[in-house]
Structure 1
Amino acid sequence: MNQLNISVTEDLQDFINEQIKTKGYSNLSEYINYLIQKDREKQAEKHLEELLLEGLESPEFIEVNDQWWEEKRLKLMNQIKGNNL
């Protein structure tokens, strides 16, 4: 595991200590890891939203029905089988 050293102002240090105490984090590392993971999730959600908007604005229309899902399932199963060989 890598180690990271950071400098913060005294008021930020007080805030961090209060968060650790009141939110039940066992230490600073756990709190920082939580914040970074939340930021990562937020970025992934933003990317997904961008892709969804791009799809809505696309002139190409795809009808999603039982046949489409079956073709998608078969395609994914073939990809999985191909990766296992």
Structure 2
Amino acid sequence: MTSLNISLPRAMKEYIETQVQKGAFSTPSEYMRTLVREDQKHRQEQKLEALLLESLESGEPVDITPEFWEQRRQALISRMQARQQ
């Protein structure tokens, strides 16, 4: 693991220390790692939601049936066979 030094206003530093004292986190570093992980997750969810909305607005809906998946599977097999040749 690597280190990163950051500057915080006193109120934020005290808040983090309070969270550690309450037992919510074992160290200030754990608190910061949790914040970063939550931010990463939030941004990934936002990106996924944007992609989902984009796909919903991209055209006519497609019924997803067993036949649809079979056609997709056959198309994939054909592409893989073409690459091997």
The TM-score, its normalising length taken from structure 2, stands at 0.74
- Aligned in 2, Cα 1:22/1:68: closer, same or farther, shift over 3 Å? farther
Partner of 1:27: 27
The CA distance in 2 between the partners of 1:29 and 1:73, in whole Å, is 47
Partner of 1:57: 57
The CA distance in 2 between the partners of 1:25 and 1:61, in whole Å, is 47
- Structure 2 counterpart of 1:29, one-letter code: S
The CA distance in 2 between the partners of 1:73 and 1:23, in whole Å, is 52
Partner of 1:12: 12
Aligned residues: 77
Question: CA deviation digits over 1:22-42, x for unaligned, max 9?
Answer: 352110111111000000000
Alpha-carbon distance, 1:63 to partner: 1.6
Give unmatched runs, 5+ long, in structure 2.
Answer: 81-85
Max Rg structure: 2
Identity %: 36
- Confirm or deny that 1:47 pairs with 2:50: no
Partner of 1:38: 38
- Structure 2 counterpart of 1:41, one-letter code: K
The TM-score, its normalising length taken from structure 1, stands at 0.74
Computed over aligned residues only, the root mean square deviation of the Cα atoms, in angstroms, reads 2.3
Give unmatched runs, 5+ long, in structure 1.
Answer: 80-85
